[in-house]
């Protein structure tokens, strides 16, 4: 082990004490995941421990805390670990397993001998998943660690572990101010957001519940639920927004039906993604190399790079009024269904808003800055449809079927 001291937040001491349930919750950048990750690795070095790292949705290992643990091992200088694509082992006998809860109920129920189950992004965990998971972690002395950002007071995780916590629960609410690893640049950005958009800042970084108000761009328009893609739907369609500095890069896959509804099926989301890592990020979305991806035209060099890597990226033209037209098109959908695994798209739907008059509280016809990167990607992906009727012109091309013809713009 490194001789250098290992820095941990002040609340880590409480989480290091034996307890059946340990809960870290609060806003983004509150050091919840990094703290649990560091404590897990230190425990793994100390004595043989079998970990289950779970989340509601995990289509690939990239969507787990696998990379976070891998980075923490290097950052903390911890010896004795063997990291593979699917698991992490320590030479004292410790083991980290990674599973998604949704659609893996049988696999989770058959997992035996777990000492510590860490449920990350627990705000997304359904009541059904909790009912399956909790009795599965039954080894004497076993613990369940829970980290999440609050969404709504009615969410199952909040109700179970904050509103009515079971006996043996240790709970700590964290914020970005508690994070010893947060960069000065991030602190400046968050402080600025609290000044220019306090409602968004309180939800995203303060851990307050999302507000539903007249100022919300998509108020009453969307819901968050699982769905199965229908053969009768149009799509899939893809749109991407390139990140700048602290803004995220996003890729969204979505569908439309003949009733005017929009279905957001998959998202890729990353802050500070280097150019050479973009292909791997895009490959996490099914079909990303097979369909046209309409992208923010502001980064032609990035579009050219991605085309050179085998993606069909093209620029979505932006002109005067294009943002307003796109917002109007989104608001004209009969309904917007967001799959729960698209958590950033859902978060933005809750907090994307118009500016509000400081004296009257009335919404103004001006969009508040930021918090719309996933929806920008959707606007780009739908660009040929905006202002061209519900689906644009439907026409036939010799040699392809009717379904494929409807997908041609």
Count: domains in the chain: 2
> Contact 156/130 with Cβ under 8 angstroms?
yes
32 pLDDT above the threshold of 90? yes
- Cα(323)–Cα(106) distance, rounded to whole angstroms? 45
Top-confidence residue, 246 or 306: 306
Which region among 29-33, 38-42, 189-193, 286-290 has the lowest average model confidence (pLDDT)? 189-193
Verify that 23 and 134 share a domain, yes or no. Answer: yes
Query: For 225, phi and psi rounded to 5 degrees?
Result: -165, 160
pLDDT of residue 4: 61
Top-confidence residue, 194 or 255: 255
393 pLDDT above the threshold of 50? no
Counting every residue written for the chain, the total comes to: 409
21 pLDDT above the threshold of 60? yes
Which region among 96-110, 139-153, 298-312 has the lowest average model confidence (pLDDT)? 96-110
Verify that 164 and 230 share a domain, yes or no. Answer: no
Residue 157 located in a structural domain:
yes
Residues 320-338 have a mean pLDDT of 90
pLDDT of residue 352: 86
Query: For 362, phi and psi rounded to 5 degrees?
Result: -75, 140
401 pLDDT above the threshold of 60? no
Give me 300's structure tokens: 């032609």
Question: Which of these three, 125, 143, 178, is where a domain ends?
Answer: 178
Which region among 11-15, 117-121, 330-334, 388-392 has the lowest average model confidence (pLDDT)? 388-392
Q: Which domain holds residue 387?
A: 222-406
Residue 199 located in a structural domain:
no
Verify that 240 and 330 share a domain, yes or no. Answer: yes
Residues 309-334 have a mean pLDDT of 91
> Contact 367/373 with Cβ under 8 angstroms?
no
pLDDT in tens, 118-177: 999 999 898 989 999 999 999 999 999 999 998 778 889 999 999 999 998 999 999 998
Verify that 234 and 368 share a domain, yes or no. Answer: yes
Confidence of residue 319 (pLDDT cuts 50, 70, 90): confident
198 pLDDT above the threshold of 50? yes
pLDDT of residue 402: 33
Residue 173 located in a structural domain:
yes
pLDDT of residue 191: 86
Identify whether 236 is preceded by a cis peptide bond (ω within 30 of 0). Answer: yes
Residue 8 located in a structural domain:
no
Verify that 166 and 31 share a domain, yes or no. Answer: yes
The predicted model scores a pTM of 0.61
pLDDT of residue 407: 38
Residue 217 located in a structural domain:
no
Taking alpha carbons only, the member of 173, 177, 171, 218 closest to residue 201 is 177
> Contact 240/221 with Cβ under 8 angstroms?
no
Taking alpha carbons only, the member of 56, 45, 143 closest to residue 95 is 45
209 pLDDT above the threshold of 80? no
409 pLDDT above the threshold of 70? no
Residues 386-395 have a mean pLDDT of 47
CATH number at residue 38: 3.40.50.300
Taking alpha carbons only, the member of 164, 141, 145 closest to residue 38 is 145
Q: Count Cβ atoms within 10 A of the Cβ of residue 153 and give its class: 0-12 exposed, 13-18 middle, 19 or more buried.
A: exposed
Q: What percent of the chain has pLDDT over 70?
A: 88
pLDDT of residue 256: 96
Residue 108 located in a structural domain:
yes
Verify that 229 and 169 share a domain, yes or no. Answer: no
Residue 208 located in a structural domain:
no
Verify that 257 and 344 share a domain, yes or no. Answer: yes
Verify that 171 and 233 share a domain, yes or no. Answer: no
Confidence of residue 201 (pLDDT cuts 50, 70, 90): confident
pLDDT of residue 3: 54
- Cα(38)–Cα(308) distance, rounded to whole angstroms? 39
397 pLDDT above the threshold of 60? no
Top-confidence residue, 2 or 391: 2
Residues 82-111 have a mean pLDDT of 87
Verify that 52 and 153 share a domain, yes or no. Answer: yes
395 pLDDT above the threshold of 80? no
Confidence of residue 405 (pLDDT cuts 50, 70, 90): very low
- Cα(135)–Cα(166) distance, rounded to whole angstroms? 13
> Contact 263/275 with Cβ under 8 angstroms?
no
Verify that 228 and 304 share a domain, yes or no. Answer: yes
- Torsion angle (degrees, nearest 10) of CA 69, 75, 77, 83: 30
Top-confidence residue, 261 or 215: 261
Residue 211 located in a structural domain:
no
Long-range contacts of 315-323 (CB under 8 A, 24+ apart): 316/239, 316/379, 316/380, 316/381, 316/383, 317/383, 322/379, 322/386, 323/367, 323/379
Within 10 angstroms of residue 354's Cβ, the number of other Cβ atoms is: 17
């Amino acid at each position: 082990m490194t001789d250098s001291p290992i820095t941990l937040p002040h609340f880590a001491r409480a989480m290091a004490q034996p307890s059946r349930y340990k809960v870290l919750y609060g806003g983004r950048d509150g050091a919840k995941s990094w703290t649990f990750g560091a404590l897990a690795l230190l425990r793994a070095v100390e004595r043989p421990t079998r970990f289950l790292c779970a989340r509601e949705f995990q289509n690939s290992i990239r969507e787990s805390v696998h990379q976070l643990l891998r980075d923490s091992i290097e950052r903390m200088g911890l010896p004795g670990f063997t990291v593979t694509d699917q698991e992490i082992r320590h030479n004292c006998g410790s083991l980290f397993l990674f599973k998604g809860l949704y659609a893996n109920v049988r696999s989770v129920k058959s997992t035996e001998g777990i000492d510590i189950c860490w449920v990350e992004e627990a705000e997304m965990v359904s009541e059904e998943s909790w009912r399956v998971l909790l009795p599965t972690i039954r080894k004497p002395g076993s613990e369940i660690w829970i980290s999440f950002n609050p969404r709504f007071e009615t969410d199952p995780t909040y109700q179970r572990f904050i509103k009515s916590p079971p006996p043996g629960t240790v709970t700590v609410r964290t914020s970005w101010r508690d994070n010893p690893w947060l960069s000065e640049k991030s602190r400046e950005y968050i402080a600025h957001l609290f000044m220019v958009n306090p409602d968004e800042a309180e939800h995203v970084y303060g851990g307050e519940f999302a507000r539903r108000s007249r100022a919300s761009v998509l108020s009453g328009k969307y819901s968050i639920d699982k769905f199965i893609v229908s053969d009768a739907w149009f799509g899939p369609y893809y749109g991407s927004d390139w990140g700048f500095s602290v803004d995220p890069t996003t890729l969204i896959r979505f569908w439309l039906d003949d009733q005017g509804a929009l279905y957001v099926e998959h998202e890729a989301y990353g802050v500070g993604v280097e150019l050479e890592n973009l292909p791997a990020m895009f490959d996490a979305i099914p079909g990303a190399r097979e369909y046209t991806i309409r992208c923010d035209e502001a980064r032609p060099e990035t579009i050219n790079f991605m085309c050179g890597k085998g993606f069909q990226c093209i620029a979505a033209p932006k002109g005067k009024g294009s943002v307003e037209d796109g917002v109007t098109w989104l608001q004209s959908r009969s309904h917007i269904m967001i799959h729960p695994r698209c958590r950033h798209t859902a978060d933005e739907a809750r907090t994307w808003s118009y500016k509000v008059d400081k004296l009257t509280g009335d919404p103004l016809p001006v969009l508040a800055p930021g918090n719309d990167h996933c929806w920008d990607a959707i606007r780009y992906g739908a660009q040929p449809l905006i202002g061209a009727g519900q689906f644009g012109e439907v026409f036939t091309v010799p040699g392809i079927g009717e379904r494929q013809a409807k997908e041609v713009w």
